[in-house]
Amino acid sequence: MILDQFIGNKRQERRESSADERPLRSIVKAISWRVVGTLDTITISWLLTGELTLAFSIGSIELMTKMVLYFIHERAWNQVKWGK
């Protein structure tokens, strides 16, 4: 009986862990990652150009385009069953 319960719990954990993520979770992950990535881009741009204004311009464009691309990429991978 204990073994049956243990096996049942493990099966439930596998089902829950392989469940699709909600779009809102993907959006929050995209935003948090883009903050880190954009700070990196701004820093590198500033070091290469020596111009903080240009670095922020590059960072702001990069922020929007890569956030959209990440969301699309994340949602596409969520459709792939491999590895789940």
Confidence of residue 9 (pLDDT cuts 50, 70, 90): low
Helix (H) or strand (E) holding 3: helix 2-17
Going from N- to C-terminal start, the domains of the chain cover: 22-84
Averaged pLDDT of the chain: 84
pLDDT at 8 over 70: no
pLDDT tens-digit profile of 38-77? 999 999 999 999 999 999 999 999 988 988 888 899 899 9
Predicted pLDDT at 40? 95
Query: In the numeric block, which tokens belong to residue 35?
Result: 């903050």
Burial of 2 (0-12, 13-18, 19+ CB in 10 A): exposed
More confident residue, 47 or 84: 47
Predicted pLDDT at 57? 96
**Contact predicate 44/54, CB 8 Å:** no
- Closest C-alpha among 81, 71, 75 to residue 33: 71
